[in-house]
A and B are shown apart, each in its own frame.
Chain A
């Protein structure tokens, strides 16, 4: 034994253990996010049971989905205010998602295993995903049209299922009118309002000219108001049509609730679904999540604006950071002579990589938003003042800030690519009479393009996951409009945007109902992690491919 210790083997094994522990943590974390994120869309079983503690005289019927179970000590549960059977040290508790937030505010509740009756899985339990108040669990009892009961019992379910697709279509139509058409009218009205202020302030114009402009604006506004009224009427007609249908449901404890079909997003019978049906539901739910708009303080619905904002911000950032980083790297590798200047640049690159991201945020807020944005407003958007146009956090400032943040990534990666290009290629080109610029443009840049690509991908991955600086320079929890839409000039660089990473922070930590938002946070985290893993693996494989290629060339 002593000899074994002297040989140093145990220490080597301990070191191996450190690696193993790190690996377990990485893969455990990714697995955990994957499992939690993916299971969000799976129509899990709804269980029903009776619950009676020692203090209750009557058992209560409880219905819902099992979120998770924990083993706790009885003492800890007693300290937390639960009644626990006497003489028991360990208890198992289950978190049940009971939904029905409109009827009972406690939509997530812990239940002790000891007081539960046998779990039942009634086949005709329906789960309704609603526009408001979250999910509903219950039994369909009646189907109503115009307030009259048309079908009951099993027929009600059939009638409801037949009606749902049409309802969905109507809901989507209303949404289109509200989001796109009315949005456009509002955008135009806002433009007019600013133009109006411009006319009022334009002192160089004569009274007549002003009057003329004013008339033009008035005419335009009238037209828009008419259009608005028209759209509103159209929407209200659709709403009235929608409002005709409703279902009556019964909850586990026998309460009745009438829910109009217009409030229902989706409905399913989880205990009555085959695996293929569940799979289909899964795919549809996932698609809705990726392409939908958020609802209920972001804790439900989709993440389309967040995905959209992240992607657009990253694209804008790439447009800035790629030329900057690539040219800086070319300077370092191809032009600069070793000396204090190059050393200073290298120290700067290293420090840009090491400065905390929040410092970039502070700099971006002060320099880009308040200084540059504020001055742009003063010069170009005087009419809109005091409400800022570019002088408030916006996607353009976020992109610029992150471009600065990711600059070292592009530089380091491009430089590595440039290093790998043999001197013989440069010498050959120069010997044939090409200028340095031509050599660069025709040979070096194309050859090192994959390295630049790697750098760019890594920069994108870094930017997509960064949140702290964005909180200061442009991200909001809920953006009413996307930064890219059908209204001239289409790309609105002055708008704030939503971001996947910030979405996670917001829903997980700032929403009033953390438990309700938790699955959505996991799902969003999964999307973000997948995006970043894919980007990184792509970058790594391009890099490895390049290394192999140049190794082969030099042999």
Chain B
């Protein structure tokens, strides 16, 4: 009985031990595989954050309904608020209808304050975000109104009390006198700038008028006073009739389209001396007409749509004489039918085009992408609108049936072209590589070229490798092959310590000490470069040839490096103290000024500083791997070579280096990988300006430093945020490739050694 129980106890114990053993096996196995999991997770996660940028846009039909407030009158303007909970429709029969955009339920109706006997003859809207619109009347007046949604927050959700407001005071002042002679306004343009509202109009007989309404708040009374000033502008040449007037937000440019497919540029910076600067036919087809003319956000680019379905972007570009010329920048895919309407996006440089056959296209100017091409109805579309956040698209056909579509278009700014090729940005005279991710103004065009950053990364790594590779490899050969064992036992840990030094300290010294030092002692750097090897050779000659045997024997072989330390210190000291004298003698007292006079830009924090500081960080990596490679060259090879009468140096060059070359190669690769990814040194010791050049005296901005600078400020989920993830992914992939190649080379080498 007792033995039985003992057996069963033992059995239970054995089972328990087996369970433990198995648990341990699986736990440990899990952690082993988890390493791969961690790396994979990093890759997958980084990739998953960048993928949405390349997924394009989607457009799904949502609903259709007859225009709120009656389909028997035409819509002349439509706007939806950013929450897509309130919208406004202005109709041809002078009504403003506030309604719920998804259902079409009318919340409020107001009529526009236009006298009964006056006809509306033209209409125009300012930039969508200003919510300002203008209607030209047949009595020479212009009605300027704004719509407001007046949203309030409450626990039940947002509440709205929408209404029309009058930008220049009360309802009575809504009608602006534009043409003093009371002629009908056939074309009207309106824009709000920093100083007030500008209205431009063409009267029925083709005269152009510009009226400025400047608002001034009196300091004393706090009352706002509106000052009106009207100017007559020169008429269009060749008796052309204006069809469209565009005013920009700076108040300097006015563009007028005519019935002959031409665009005319007026400089109205000084309205009393306004002049016609440039005229150009903006449509290519011979019998084609311009059917749509619209500014993009920021009122710099103009989108021209034609009766032949073409869509093109124009800008004012300064020519060699510094005169703004109307210039075609890029073309977008044509529609099959005539363009009926173009609508800019609210907060980006995108736009929508709609044509006579019911097709809508969504384009983005900077990236030259067309994200959506979709037939949303078989009726002709006369209007197309989008909400400020680009989630809802409304197409209106000629029968005033509204087609609502859900839109998702989060990242139109990005394409391969934008990231890696020259892009013609607004305000520039040609294509360029630019990284400029943000600015203070809303109408700013983000410039996301990764080229300057990649060039910067390569530039920094190149100069660092230029400095580090020779030093590290030569040092490795010497300490693995010639150095005495005792000196090696000091040298190796010292250089390992060099690897452990935090890069933030190297960066801080490079930025705060080395950069000003080099700037003040430029000739010293040059003379060190020349004198150092020479001095070493002279010291070597003196030591091996000129010194008596007895003295020489005091220092055993393998301590040459120790002998050279004082030589290096002396040369360094000599060069620095001679530096001002050389400067006075050769560079007329100021080497930096001399460089500038030669046409070389000099930044205090430049690639030279980076080369030295980052080279310092990379030396130990290259050194210790190539030292291992050289040290592990099988002894019988070198001994064989020496036995055959080769000198030690010949053995090194012909046997050791050749055998160890794959190892040295992988050392250089790994060093390069480290230089590419290093962040703190470049962050602190360069000016972080994204320039595209290889000038050693200029700074750069690298991918890694760029991430460190901009990541904390990027809005989560924005295109900028995702592009920074893409930069990280590029770094990851680059170093992954470099490291894997290095590792494979190293494993091959190991196999080779074991077979030797």
Question: Contact residues of A with B, CB < 8 Å?
Answer: 4, 7-27, 29, 32-33, 70-76, 79, 89-90, 323-324, 327-328, 330-332, 334-336, 341, 344-363, 365-367, 370-371, 404, 407, 411, 435-438, 440-441, 461-462, 464-468, 471-472, 501-502, 504-505, 508-509, 514, 518, 521, 525, 528-529, 532-533, 536-537, 540
Contact = CB atoms under 8 A, between A and B. Distances in A.
Nearest to A323: B31
B20 interface: yes
A74 B724 CA distance: 46
29 contacts: A8-B649, A9-B540, A11-B649, A12-B478, A15-B475, A18-B471, A18-B472, A18-B474, A18-B478, A33-B509, A72-B580, A73-B584, A74-B584, A75-B590, A89-B580, A335-B28, A347-B743, A352-B39, A354-B673, A356-B679, A359-B42, A359-B728, A462-B500, A465-B502, A472-B707, A472-B711, A501-B505, A536-B496, A536-B500
Nearest to A90: B580
Interface residues of B, number: 119
B474 A14 contact: yes
Nearest to A521: B508
A71 B573 CA distance: 13
B735 interface: yes
B35 A22 contact: no
A328 B34 contact: yes
B647 interface: yes
Contacts of B474: 14-15, 17-19
B577 to A, nearest CB: 8
Contact of A13 (B532, B536, B616): B536
A142 to B, nearest CB: 40
A20 to B, nearest CB: 4
A76 B583 contact: yes
A536 B564 CA distance: 27
A21 B491 CA distance: 12
B649 A351 contact: no
A461 B562 CA distance: 29
A16 B504 contact: no
A26 B534 CA distance: 22
Given A18-B471, A23-B565, A351-B740, A12 B649 contact: yes
Nearest to B26: A335
Given A17-B561, A20-B561, A359-B732, 10 more contacts: A16-B482, A22-B623, A328-B34, A345-B33, A348-B39, A435-B18, A501-B502, A502-B504, A504-B504, A525-B509
A4 B545 contact: yes
B716 interface: yes
B536 A505 contact: no
B86 interface: no
B65 interface: no
B541 interface: yes
Contacts of B42: 355, 359-360, 363, 404
A433 to B, nearest CB: 10
B674 to A, nearest CB: 7
B593 A467 contact: no
Given A27-B494, A327-B27, A362 B36 contact: no
Contacts of A351: 39, 735-736, 739-740
Contacts of A330: 28, 32
Task: Name, among B35, B540, B676, the residue most crowded by chain A CB atoms within 10 Å (CB to CB).
Answer: B35
A358 B503 contact: no
Given A21-B471, A75-B590, A525-B505, A356 B35 contact: no
A358 B704 contact: yes
Given A20-B561, A24-B565, A73-B584, A362 B478 contact: no
A15 B743 CA distance: 26
Contact of B31 (A324, A440, A461): A324
Contact of B533 (A17, A33, A361): A17
Interface in B638-693: 647-650, 652, 670, 673-674, 676-680, 683-684
Contacts of A438: 17, 20-21
B219 interface: no
Which of A73, A367, A529 gathers most chain B CB within 10 Å?
A73
A97 B536 CA distance: 40
B512 interface: yes
B736 A355 contact: yes
Contact of A504 (B495, B505, B584): B505
Contacts of A341: 33
B619 interface: yes
B589 A73 contact: yes
Contacts of B505: 33, 465, 501, 504, 525, 528-529
Nearest to A11: B649
B471 A327 contact: no
B371 interface: no
A24 B36 CA distance: 40
Interface of B is mostly: helix
Nearest to B537: A10
A27 B29 CA distance: 44
A363 B49 CA distance: 10
A245 B85 CA distance: 65
Interface in B121-144: none
A105 to B, nearest CB: 21
B106 interface: no
Contact of A73 (B478, B590, B716): B590
A16 B739 contact: no
B80 interface: no
A13 B537 CA distance: 7
A196 B503 CA distance: 46
A199 B716 CA distance: 30
Contacts of A25: 498, 616
A23 B38 CA distance: 37
Contact of A20 (B564, B592, B708): B564
Contacts of B18: 435
Nearest to A336: B32
In the complex, the 3 A-B pairs of residues with the closest C-beta atoms, listed nearest first: A356-B677, A8-B649, A75-B589
A509 B504 CA distance: 11
B395 interface: no
Contacts of A363: 42, 45-46, 728
B619 A508 contact: no
Nearest to A92: B580
With most chain B CB atoms within 10 A of its CB, the pick from A14, A371, A407, A464 is A14
Interface string B376-405: 000000000000000000000000000000
B575 interface: no
B456 interface: no
Contact of B24 (A366, A440, A514): A440
B588 interface: yes
A246 to B, nearest CB: 37
Contacts of A367: 41, 45
Given A15-B474, A468-B704, A505-B680, A332 B32 contact: yes
A38 to B, nearest CB: 15
B508 A508 contact: yes
Nearest to A15: B478
A465 B504 CA distance: 7
Contact of B584 (A90, A331, A464, A468): A90
Contacts of A359: 42, 46, 677, 728, 731-732, 735
A13 B545 contact: no
Contact of A90 (B32, B507, B581): B581
Contacts of B708: 358, 361, 468, 471-472
Nearest to B31: A327
B647 A8 contact: yes
B634 interface: no
A20 B707 contact: no
A26 B495 contact: yes
B677 A358 contact: yes
A405 to B, nearest CB: 10
A358 B676 CA distance: 11
B650 to A, nearest CB: 6
A466 B560 CA distance: 36
Interface string B439-482: 00000000000000000000000000000001110110111001
